[in-house]
Amino acid sequence: MYTALEKKLGYSFQSIKFLEHALTHRSYRYEDKRMDQDNQRLEFLGDAALGFVSANYLFTRFPDSQEGDLTRFRSRMANTQTLAQIASEIELGSFLRLGRGEQQSGGIHRTSNLADTLESILGAAFLDGELAAVQIIFETLFIPYFEKVPLVSLEDNPKGTLQETVQKQWKISPEYRLVREEGSAHSKQFTVEVLVKGEVLGQGTGTNKRLAEIEAAQEAFKQLQRMNESRT
């Protein structure tokens, strides 16, 4: 019954009941008195599971990013708009079990329904196959999505933007190198270069190494853009 959906998720449920509950909106349960569950509790569990696997992914993908940046990235990966967009791409709305009123009012396209159901599916996957199952769905749906839609912007996190760009193009990470440290103990000035494939693409200065790296990353990203534009 749900084979087509399981194929899109990249995961086959051992107990199809978990998936069925994940697809059951509360409006369907209210209209069918035989139903004893809907997807609201699974949504809670799926949110937690998604938070964990996305945190693990981001921690590995952005080794130079600080806690605040990683928290922002994780929020973007799991916000309602993102979840609804991913759900739309796999036509999740066509599998929802909705009450008549919700169905007639366009519930299969409603952003909140799509987002909540995708989270519920992750919760169902956790019950069915623990974190390994959630990880499979995450790798099938979320990682490809964020290969097309950048998580970071230059304004938010220059180092993260540069790293994401370089990893997409060459599957490597930029290398930061301290080339100069000047001034007294209370008035230091650091100069850092950033290299990609052994080539210096940017240089920055700052009162600490992090600020110098940020400036170098901004310059390197702009240099990369110019290089890519010249090739087209």
List CB contacts of 37: < 8 A, sequence separation 6 or more. Answer: 21, 24, 29
Q: List residues with catalytic annotation.
A: 47, 119
159-231 maps to CATH 3.20.20.80: no
Q: Where do the H-state alpha helices sit in the chain?
A: 3-9, 16-22, 26-31, 40-61, 67-78, 80-89, 100-104, 111-137, 143-148, 158-170, 209-231
pLDDT at 49: 97
Give the model confidence (pLDDT) of 189-226 as tens digits. 999 999 999 999 999 998 899 889 999 998 998 888 88
CATH architecture of 3-148: Orthogonal Bundle (1.10)
Per mean pLDDT, which range of 53-62, 67-76, 194-203 is the poorest?
A: 67-76
Q: How far apart are CA 98 and CA 185, in angstroms?
A: 66
pLDDT at 155: 60
Ranges of each domain in the chain: 3-148, 159-231
Give the model confidence (pLDDT) of 127-170 as tens digits. 999 999 999 999 999 998 887 766 766 567 888 889 888 988 89
Q: What's phi and psi for 184, nearest 5 deg?
A: -80, 175
DSSP H/E element including 158: helix 158-170
